[in-house]
Amino acid sequence: MKAVIRKAGPEGPAFCIRPYLPTAVPEAPGAHRERRLIVGAVSLARRLGVSTLVIGLTVVALGTSAPELVVNLLSVVRGSTDLALGNIFGSSIANILLILGLAAVVSPVIVQRETIWKQIPFSLLAAIVVIILGSDALLDDHLPNILSRADGLILLAFGAAFLYYTFRTGSQNGSLGSDFAALPARLTWAYVIGGLVGLGLGGKFIVDAATGLARGFGVSEHLIGLTVVAVGTSLPELATSLVAARKKQTDIAVGNVVGSNILNVFLVLGLTATVTPITFFPRALQDGLIAAAASLLLFLAMFVGGRHRLDRWQGVLFIITYVAVIGISIMGG
């Protein structure tokens, strides 16, 4: 038996959870993990007294960043730093242009004022900080461009500050997800932890298969990281954001994407550089600038068309832009 969200009558909350027997309606493979993660995340927000945006920016974003962390650590240990950097920047680009674009096509994404003026700029800051730390040659032509262990610790400090600030202000801002009833504590944690573990394992499996296929065609590790691996490790964000958009929990959809971008740079890349210094190749600088431009584009989109929302036509434009970026990268090798 499993749980499903259904409309409740006047005697109960707008939504409630009840057990039901399996039906004959087919589901996409693994779709239940994403739905349970959303339900568990909203329930956790209600229990902790923080907004669903905070849960999206932290718990969900941390979980959906698990594939990037696994891939990056394995990559640097094997000496594939090009793959690690391409993965992080490629995921950041895909998260905004592809995933938020698709989420907006499913349902227009309403963005909170705090997200527009604080979280999205923080995502832009993350890209700029890693570009500055990795561009040592700008200060001295004789220095190699490397993300050192000290740089990794700086990124981790930024990540810790972001998490602290988010939880510190979370109880004072945003919707508490009042459309959903809080689940029992054990079921809440089972949904959240089970969903996160399932997403991480699923993303790792897909990345392994896709990377082997791409290398069979003689594609560079940088391009693999920017495209195949980045999209593969972003599948959890894609699944989570689409389910959140369908359930009209746009706080989680936006928080998941923006939070994942911030944590990918500050925590995942920070931890990776702390384990092993990473060479910052020229292509990484280009990818970092594109990631920063994607965050800036998302910020500007909030003031075009429907104010503080990402409409369907903007979602389509984001997707077209992503296809163009990837196309240019492929042609450039």
Structure confidence at residue 321 (pLDDT):
96
Asked if 330 contacts 227 with a C-beta cutoff of 8 angstroms, the reply is yes
* More confident of the two residues 330 and 207: 330
Q: What is the pLDDT of residues 126-185, one digit of tens each?
A: 999 999 998 887 777 777 888 999 999 999 999 888 888 876 765 445 444 444 455 676
Asked if 40 contacts 171 with a C-beta cutoff of 8 angstroms, the reply is no
Interstrand relation of 2-7 and 15-20 (parallel, antiparallel or unpaired): antiparallel
Structure confidence at residue 43 (pLDDT):
67
Q: Is the pLDDT of residue 98 over 90?
A: yes
Burial of 73 (0-12, 13-18, 19+ CB in 10 A): middle
Asked if 131 contacts 293 with a C-beta cutoff of 8 angstroms, the reply is no
Q: What are the structure tokens assigned to 50, written together?
A: 């923080």
Q: How confident is the model at residue 61 (pLDDT cuts 50, 70, 90)?
A: low
Phi, psi of 278 (to 5 degrees): -115, 130
CB atoms within 10 A of CB 221: 21
Q: What are the structure tokens assigned to 69, written together?
A: 């962390």
- Rounded to 5°, angle at Cα 88 from 223 and 135: 90
Structure confidence at residue 36 (pLDDT):
61
Q: What is the pLDDT of residues 5-60, one digit of tens each?
A: 333 333 333 333 232 223 232 333 344 544 565 666 666 666 666 666 666 566 66
Helix (H, G, I), strand (E, B) or coil at 146: strand
Q: What is the pLDDT of residues 214-238, one digit of tens each?
A: 667 777 777 887 887 788 777 777 8
Q: What is the architecture of the domain spanning 51-176+194-332?
A: Up-down Bundle (1.20)
pTM of the model: 0.73
Which residue reads 């971008």 in tokens? 261
* More confident of the two residues 9 and 125: 125
Q: What are the structure tokens assigned to 247, written together?
A: 């359930």
DSSP for 109-139 reads EE--HHIIIIIHHHHHHHHHHHHHHH-GGGT
